[in-house]
Amino acid sequence: MEEPLIPVTDLAAALEADTVTLLDVRWRQGGPPGRPEYLEGHISGARFVDLDADLAGHAGAGGRHPLPAPEDFGAAMRRAGVRADRDVVVYDDWQGWGAARAWWVLRWAGHPRVRVLDGGLAAWRAAGHPLSRTEPAAGDGDFVPAPGAVPLLDADAAAELARRGVLLDARAAERYRGETEPIDRVAGHIPGAVSAPTTENTGADGRFLPAAALADRFAALGAGSGAEVGVYCGSGVSGAHEVLALAAAGIPAALYVGSWSEWSSDPDRPVATGPQPG
């Protein structure tokens, strides 16, 4: 499995050699749009990608962030300069969630070489690198999506995986337990799912834990070597971050993109509460 993360030093060298396409994916759950912050300062050469507009379809029965239509996604990536034969690096400035979603959707669409800047914009600035306010012109990419390059779960497949394999719930533990639900219709979790908050994949500096530490974490949750693993979250954003953490640990995993926002919208689907899978 290709290394999914890139450290600041390697990104700086790649930009100097002009060997990567750089995407800025500013996004915060419940927060303002990321473009104004991008315009205030970004890594030189990065083009802005809007998570809600470019990395997801319209909210509805399929959840808050369903998969984008391939033709729309392809057009957005070509405007961003993405080419099939050129490495892509993505970053954000909030927990790595937006960048992870871009990484996952590009991989789902068949791009073979995508990495996430470990630690995001904060790590870049901490290393003393400058930011730019110059927005590059629209790109001339040639990327054409070929969906299906990574495993994907729908609601029925997620329910089945929770019974026969390991389905990780990447949301905050209190949402998993059903103690609070600030966004979706019903509180709780998919029966059989295991609580695995995304926030425990990174350290205080926002960088991912070392691969061995991540592997130990997931093994303790039942997602060790050889396990069939799936992930869901609220709407397929933080869950992509968990899939990224698993990939960094060498563990392949499928994402349930509709996640809890889709699952909980159907009153006929069962809901478990409490600290145990149920």
Active-site residue set: 233
Q: Which residues contact 95 (CB under 8 A, 6 or more apart)?
A: 198, 199, 202, 206, 238, 241
* Closest-CA residue to 55 (of 4, 97, 105): 105
Burial of 36 (0-12, 13-18, 19+ CB in 10 A): exposed
Residue given tokens 């070509």 in the structure block: 78
**Amino acid identity at 71:** E
- Pairing state between β 5-6 and 114-117: parallel
Distances (CA, A) of 104 to 97, 138, 227, 251: 11, 23, 20, 15
Cβ atoms < 10 Å from Cβ of 61: 10
Residue given tokens 């729309």 in the structure block: 72
Query: Which string of DSSP letters, residue by residue, matches 103-157?
Result: HHHHHHTT-S-EEEETTHHHHHHHTT---B-PPPPPP---------SS-EE-HHH
Cβ atoms < 10 Å from Cβ of 39: 13
